[in-house]
Amino acid sequence: MRLVEFESLDINKLDDILAKLCSMVKKGQADNPKKYGMVAAAVVTPKGRVVSKLNYAKGSKRVHAERAAIEEYNTYHGKVPTGSIIVTTLSPCNESMADRYGDSCTDLINKLGIKTVYCGYSDPSQDNEHHDYKEVFTKNKQLKALCKQYADTFLRNDNEEDTISSSVN
């Protein structure tokens, strides 16, 4: 992938990466479900380098997939280049989480100056008002359904609870 492709966001290539991330989640669950989570993310550079990681346990906390991919990139390749994007199976978190290692993924992405995040599914439990990047969601129905299926294993459905509360009141 070259910078020109980033400008037009080659959706097919991004969906290919998203599909590989979904495969990582499946493999992580098969290999060690206590260690690996249900979210995967990748840093994709303008020159086409892809570094991906799964959400994983670190002591009593979890390292979210976006942080894991960024840290992996930094360890092996240095600073994430300008123009890079994040591809993730679930939109980045930005609210307080007691079990998360480090800042929110949104704060980390904002600090790096990343301008585009390509997502498989939008996290309905997070309020994404303070991100400085553009979120682009897959239009591939199969990928979206798979990413939602993974997310549903740990997300509570806020919309369903709101409906129940409204009908009780």
- Per-residue pLDDT of the chain (169 residues), as tens digits, is 444 444 556 899 999 999 999 999 999 999 999 999 999 999 999 999 999 999 999 999 999 999 999 999 999 999 999 999 999 999 999 988 889 999 999 999 999 999 999 999 999 888 767 789 999 999 999 999 999 999 999 886 444 443 333 333 3
What CA–CA distance (Å, rounded) separates 11 from 55? 24
What CA–CA distance (Å, rounded) separates 154 from 19? 20
List strands edge to edge, sheet with 50-58: 61-63, 50-58, 36-44, 85-88, 116-119, 134-137
Domain containing residue 97: CATH number: 3.40.140.10
pTM given for the model: 0.87
What's the domain range around 119? 3-168
What CA–CA distance (Å, rounded) separates 38 from 118? 17
Residue 82 CA from chain centroid, whole number: 19
Please state the domain count of the chain: 1
CB 75, CB 49: distance < 8 Å: no
